[in-house]
């Protein structure tokens, strides 16, 4: 009588079968442990940044911190764009996480500001002192002050790893030219010096005062600011340049951006400044001047080259605006202005 395989099996064969199962289980366990450790390492690595090579061969931090943003924290306002760029509002981010990540990867910031004519006496001291209290306090910062009166720049006390460079510029006869020609000056400063020392550049108007944290959450590859007076208005009320003869001409756009603040990695800021300057010079050749000068050209640039990060009006608020329900933290405010006295100087 034939015996089945089951009947023919011996205790030894059963032991061998069980042994193979144990070996297989141990191998799978080891693979699982190794893979878990790999995932843990990669998560810790990418949660703070991913190093990529720049054109000069030095590492630059490309942050993936957007994944930590809480886009649902502010349901009453828009927190991201149609191209998925975040719009930064209070309560969306963890300030400690951002600061620690940027410190770990040795981020540094160059801040440019122009103080020409009477603007120096009226605003520069307040701007610099308040910046020392609130701007990128976790990082090394150098203020690049462009002025026609270097001897009048206030000598304020700076914290460790904070510096100031005063650079003389020509005072143009028209304030419009001062505003527009700053793009050329910013580009030249980036090319000759800033690009070799800093990862990020932020460009500010001087007639502003910091009032709250303006920190590393604002850093990104290309950063634009939503204009406080327009962020709630329909697009047909945006004051784009409507003159088809101007290089700044726009029929429509995404948002209305405020030129009082813009920034990003040094290479992206240089691209913006170069493009705006070339457009401004083309307009001059054709005897055209954009409606809001460099701001009109900046809006055109950001329409064609979408910013990767938008700052909410919390980062530049005008207190004359009656409805401030959206503004939980005032980080920077417009200073009172007397344009007649300032611009006739």
Question: Taking the mean position of all CA atoms in its chain, how far away is CA 321?
Answer: 25
Annotated binding-site residue? 256: no
DSSP string, 83-124: T--BEE-TTSS-HHHHHHHHHHTT--EEEEEE--THHIIIII
Cβ(249)–Cβ(308) below 8 Å: no
Provide the greatest CA pair distance for the chain.
118
Phi, psi at residue 163, to the nearest 5°?
-135, 170
Annotated ligand binding at 147? The verdict is no
Q: Which of 143, 156, 145 is nearest to 116 (CA)?
A: 145
**According to the annotation, is 207 in a ligand binding site?**
yes
DSSP 176-212: HHHHHHHHHHHHHHHHHTGGGT-SEEEEE-SSEEE-S
Q: Are 213 and 121 spatial neighbours (Cβ–Cβ below 8 Å)?
A: no
227 known ligand binder: yes
8 is in an annotated binding site: no
Q: Is 295 a catalytic residue?
A: yes
Rg of the chain over Cα atoms, rounded to whole angstroms, equals 27
Residue 102, C-beta contacts closer than 8 angstroms, at least 6 positions apart: 61, 63, 138, 139, 216, 219
Q: Is 206 annotated as a binding residue?
A: yes
**Active-site hit among 170, 295, 314, 328:** 295
Collapsing DSSP to helix, strand or coil, 301 comes out as helix
Q: What burial letters (b/e) apply to 192-224, b meaning 16+ CB within 10 Å? A: eebbeebbbbbbbbbbbbbbbbbbbbbbbbbbb
Is 239 annotated in a binding site? The answer is yes
Residue 99 annotated in ligand binding: no
Contact 169, 114 (CB under 8 A): yes
Nearest to 263 by CA among 107, 84, 125, 130: 107
**77 marked as part of a ligand binding site:** no
Angle at 209 between CA 327 and CA 292, to 5 degrees: 85
Burial class (CB in 10 A: 0-12, 13-18, 19+), 143: buried
Binding site, annotated residues for UDP-N-acetyl-alpha-D-galactosamine: 114-116, 119, 205-207
Known binding residues for Mn(2+) are 205, 207
The residues carrying an active-site annotation are: 295
Binding positions: 114-116, 119, 205-207, 227, 239, 295, 318
């Amino acid at each position: 009588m034939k015996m089945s395989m089951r009947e023919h099996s011996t205790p030894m064969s059963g032991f061998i079968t069980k042994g193979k199962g144990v070996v297989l289980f141990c191998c799978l366990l080891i693979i699982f442990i190794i893979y878990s450790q790999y995932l843990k390492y990669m998560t810790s690595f990418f949660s703070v940044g991913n190093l990529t090579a720049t054109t000069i061969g030095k590492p630059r931090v490309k942050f993936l911190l957007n994944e930590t943003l809480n886009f649902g924290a502010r349901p009453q306002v828009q927190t991201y764009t149609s191209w998925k760029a975040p719009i930064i509002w209070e309560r969306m981010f963890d300030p400690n996480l951002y600061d620690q990540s940027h410190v770990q990867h040795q981020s540094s910031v160059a801040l440019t500001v122009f103080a020409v004519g009477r603007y120096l006496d009226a605003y520069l001291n307040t701007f610099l002192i308040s910046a020392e209290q609130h701007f990128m306090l976790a990082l090394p910062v150098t203020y690049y002050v462009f002025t026609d009166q270097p001897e009048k720049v206030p000598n304020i006390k700076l914290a460790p790893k904070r510096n100031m460079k005063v650079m003389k510029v020509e005072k143009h006869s028209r304030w419009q030219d001062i505003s527009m020609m700053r793009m050329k000056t910013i580009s030249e400063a980036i090319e000759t010096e800033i690009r070799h020392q800093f990862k990020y550049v932020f460009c500010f108007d001087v007639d502003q005062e910091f009032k709250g944290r303006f920190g590393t959450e604002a850093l990104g590859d290309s950063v634009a600011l939503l204009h406080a007076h327009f962020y709630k208005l329909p697009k047909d009320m945006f004051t784009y340049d409507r003159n088809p003869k101007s290089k700044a001409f726009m029929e429509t756009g995404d948002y209305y951006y405020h030129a009082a603040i813009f920034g990003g990695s040094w290479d992206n800021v240089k691209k913006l400044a170069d493009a705006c300057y070339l457009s401004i010079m083309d307009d001059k050749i054709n005897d055209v001047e954009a409606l809001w000068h460099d701001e009109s050209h900046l809006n055109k640039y950001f329409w064609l080259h979408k910013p990767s990060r938008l700052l909410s009006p919390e980062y530049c608020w005008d207190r004359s605006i009656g409805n401030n329900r959206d503004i939980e933290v005032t980080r920077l405010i417009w200073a009172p202005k007397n344009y007649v006295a300032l611009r006739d100087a």
